[in-house]
Amino acid sequence: MRFDRVVSTIDAHAAGEPLRIFTAGVPPLAGATMLERRRFMAEHHDALRRALLFEPRGHADMYGAVLTPPVTPGADYGVLFLTNEGYSSMCGHGIIALTTSLIETGMYQATQPETTIVYDAPAGPITATATVGGGRVEQVAFRNVPAFVAADSVRIRTGVGALDVTVSYGGAFYALVDAAALGVEVVPGRVGDLARLGMEVKRAVEREVDVVHPEEPDLRGIYGAIVSAPPVGDDADGR
């Protein structure tokens, strides 16, 4: 059997959130910035994203990460995050799973008790710090790009009525809404309702506001909705 292309990947997860890391088989991506490389991949190599994230090799919740050389001094890698819908600018669970995989597979030489890896992402530089013991990663923390409120008290109309939401940025733009306003509880048994209502909020905000990063016009649009509620115990700040 003859193969036209071979792509190597590592499948990982962070608390159940999947990440498929492309380790070989992706052609060089042109661009002086990660946003330019993201655009180049979308225009010239999007078939790879579809082949590895869509069924039968992937699934609806599959996420991907493509490693590239860094674009800024001091960074260790460039990284592009892929989704079933397209390309993200930053991914928290992706950084955690990627850092763990690079260290535990030996792709990145770890030091104990801490190992720091700096990534150039489309959103900007991300610094991940892993606690390492016995060659295994015990935990990962990361410093994200600066966060800010992009729009406050945005009035939207949904199936449950008119709502006020906040649009904030932390590597991607999100619509923030209280669960009480949606008439739903943040509990495992309401996951389906949370997903449906969250998507409704996302689309409603997109109709009302053209969200664009003030310093980078390629960072735009609502990535998702975050539905929050008060905590149920003293060991958390919220749900």
| Residues annotated catalytic, as ranges | 91
Which residue type is seen at 202?
K
How many whole angstroms separate alpha carbon 89 and alpha carbon 173?
10
Cα angle, residue 172 at apex, residues 84 and 179 outer, rounded to 5°: 90
Instruction: Please give the helix or strand (H or E) that residue 10 lies within, else none.
Output: strand 8-14
Instruction: Name every residue whose Cβ is closer than 8 Å to that of residue 170 and which is 6 or more positions away in sequence.
Output: 90, 144, 145, 147
The number of residues in the chain equals 239
How many whole angstroms separate alpha carbon 149 and alpha carbon 166?
7
